[in-house]
Amino acid sequence: MKKLIVSSFFISIVLASCTPKTSAVTGPVNTSAEKLAQGKTIFDNSCGRCHDLPEPTAHTPVQWVGIMNAMAPKAKLNDEQHQLVYDYIVSVKK
């Protein structure tokens, strides 16, 4: 039974990762200080409105892609805002 549950979970993850995302980020685009500041402002105001903000260094850039793709629609971010926030997050160094 446990194998069935684990297998079902794994298959669900694989299928979910294959679904097309309308506003997916693929990597950093905006690297100017002004654009990164805009991304930080959106991150603080839009994301911080609903929950405590995670540390940008808590996840890898690849992990942030999945997190951002899941959370951007909830925060009602348009594609440009989505990209600005992602670029800010991955620009933060430990």
Tens-place pLDDT, residues 57-80: 999 999 999 999 999 999 999 999
Phi, psi of 81 (to 5 degrees): -65, -40
- Alpha-carbon distance of 51 to 55, in angstroms, equals 12
| pLDDT at 6 exceeding the cut of 90 | no
Element (H, E) at 18: helix 2-18
What is residue 73's predicted lDDT score, i.e. its pLDDT? 95
Give 86's pLDDT tier (boundaries 50, 70, 90).
very high
The amino acid occupying position 94 is K
Tens-place pLDDT, residues 20-54: 554 555 566 767 899 999 999 999 999 999 999 99
What is residue 26's predicted lDDT score, i.e. its pLDDT? 58
Helix/strand/coil (H, E, C) string of 22-49? CCCCCCCCCCCHHHHHHHHHHHHHHHCC
Angle between helices 61-71 and 79-91 (to 10 degrees): 150
Q: Which residue is associated with the tokens 């905006």?
A: 30
